[in-house]
Amino acid sequence: MSGEQSSAPEPGRTTAEGGPAIRRLAEWNADRLHELAADHGTPLYVTDLDRVAENCARLRGAFPDADVKYAVKAHTGRAVLESVRESGLGAECASAGEVRRALDAGFPGDRVDYTAVNPPARDLDSVVEWWEEHPELTITVGARDTLDRLAERGYDGRVCVRVNPGVGAGHHEKVRTGAAPKFGVPYDRAPEVVDDARDRFDVVGLHAHAGSGIHGEEDLAAHRDLVARMGELAREVGDGQLEFVDVGGGFSVPYCEDDPALDLNAVADTTREALGDVDATLAVEPGRYVVADAGVLLTRVNTVKPTPETTVAGVDAGMTDLLRPAMYDAYHAIRNLDASEGSAEGPVTVAGPICETGDTFCDGRDLSIPERGDLLAVGNAGAYGYEMASTYNSRPRPAEVSLAGDVLRERETLAGVTRLERGGGGE
């Protein structure tokens, strides 16, 4: 891997194996980001593959005896997956498409887990077909019905049972999975589901996940409660036959400029303590933690409109490029890369070109007042940024490049957006 190295940690910043624990937006080299925007245009995602590797190393350092798997849904790009694989992490996949991406990126079957959530028939068909070539692949099921559907397809391989522990946590109600009935078999029914599965499959693990963006005492307490419940269940049903107990991921990153870093080593110690003595390997599956601060979104100001309440900075990126602010009211740091020292500041609303009121990256935030043509950087865009991009309003999706300048995903064209369409006559 190549690319500009992450900057050194600031004085007093907590560090761990794998580089600085926090990478703030201010630490990205403005000159380099200007060069990339000039070469590739905007909107543009920039991904630092070296930072991906650093984050993987820090996770492995905090969880040296655990099986660390990357939640692929956070960023499925081939270069990122290859970096994760080279760093020694496995791949936890939420769809058949993600399984295919992981295999194509070189993950061996024994490092790929498919966590099937109400899986469509075509997904099961595909994964079972690939399992025949990769028999060490593991399928995690969250419903007894899914066991039946796998058996109907001739699958008799490795199965992990996902449990709903009744404990949820995370940064937004839409990502708190641990108590949502959509995910996993009810905790009190898990032993009978495990017994049923053992009659037909090779049951190798148990799985649960509290949610995404876990941070703060309340969230960490919920995570600790989940892990403890999974330890109890493993001791009840394990009987020496389980390979692993997967307690999910969801480890947070500091989106706000003043938020502290997650004490990953403390979380790891707490996780091991809560799990207790089990005859199985602890497994975790972080996604956001691996890639969030390894990516920024660059966008160019095209319209500046003063209003009595705020200066509206219209930019060429929108909710189709980065959905999190519109969907979760998520905060992302924003930096004007053209602002000079002493530039006037005031309440600024950064708004995209989509015909929706919610298409804003911030509302009335205290920022350097931009001018037309200024380049803005949106921080922590590496997780669930490009992955949630869409073509709403017939807007092609942005390009993605590495910090070294390699094109990782080409910019979509309007012809690409419409390539699958046909007229009413089939032409």
Given this model, what pLDDT does residue 180 score? 62
Is 250 assigned a ligand-binding role in the annotation?
yes
- By CB atoms closer than 10 A (0-12, 13-18, 19+), residue 382 is buried
- Taking a C-beta distance cutoff of 8 angstroms, is the pair 303, 314 a contact? yes
Which CATH number, 3.90.1330.10, 2.40.50.180, 2.40.37.10, 2.60.200.20, labels domain 293-416?
2.40.37.10
Four-residue CA torsion sign, 303, 306, 311, 312: negative
Query: Of 93, 160, 355, 362, which residue is the catalytic one?
Result: 355
Q: Where exactly are the structural domains of the chain?
A: 49-291, 293-416
Given this model, what pLDDT does residue 15 score? 43
Is 324 assigned a ligand-binding role in the annotation?
yes
Residue 204: its H or E element: strand 202-207
Is 384 assigned a ligand-binding role in the annotation?
yes
Is 409 assigned a ligand-binding role in the annotation?
no
Query: Whole-angstrom Cα distance, residue 2 to residue 14?
Result: 25
Is 356 assigned a ligand-binding role in the annotation?
yes
Backbone angles phi, psi at 119, to 5 degrees: -70, 130
Is 328 assigned a ligand-binding role in the annotation?
yes
Given this model, what pLDDT does residue 218 score? 67
Q: What is the mean pLDDT of each run of 10 residues along the chain (427 residues)?
A: 38 54 95 98 98 97 97 98 98 98 98 95 98 98 96 98 73 44 87 95 93 62 87 92 94 91 90 95 96 98 97 98 95 96 90 97 96 98 97 98 98 96 79
Given this model, what pLDDT does residue 1 score? 37
Q: Tell me, yes or no, if 355 is annotated catalytic.
A: yes
Query: Whole-angstrom Cα distance, residue 251 to residue 70?
Result: 12
Separation of CA 66 from chain center: 20
Residue pointed to by tokens 């403390």: 266
Is 61 assigned a ligand-binding role in the annotation?
no
- Taking a C-beta distance cutoff of 8 angstroms, is the pair 194, 159 a contact? no
92 Cβ neighbours under 8 A, 6+ residues apart: 69, 70, 71, 72, 113, 115, 285, 287
Query: Whole-angstrom Cα distance, residue 320 to residue 59?
Result: 31
Query: Whole-angstrom Cα distance, residue 78 to residue 206?
Result: 28
Amino acid symbol at 353: P
Global confidence as pTM: 0.91
> At the topology level of CATH, where does 49-291 sit?
TIM Barrel (3.20.20)
Given this model, what pLDDT does residue 173 score? 46
Separation of CA 232 from chain center: 28
- Taking a C-beta distance cutoff of 8 angstroms, is the pair 322, 385 a contact? yes
Helix %, strand %, coil % for the chain, to 5?
A: 35, 25, 45
Residue 314: its H or E element: strand 311-315
Please list the alpha-helical segments (H only) found in 64-184: 78-86, 96-104, 121-133, 144-152
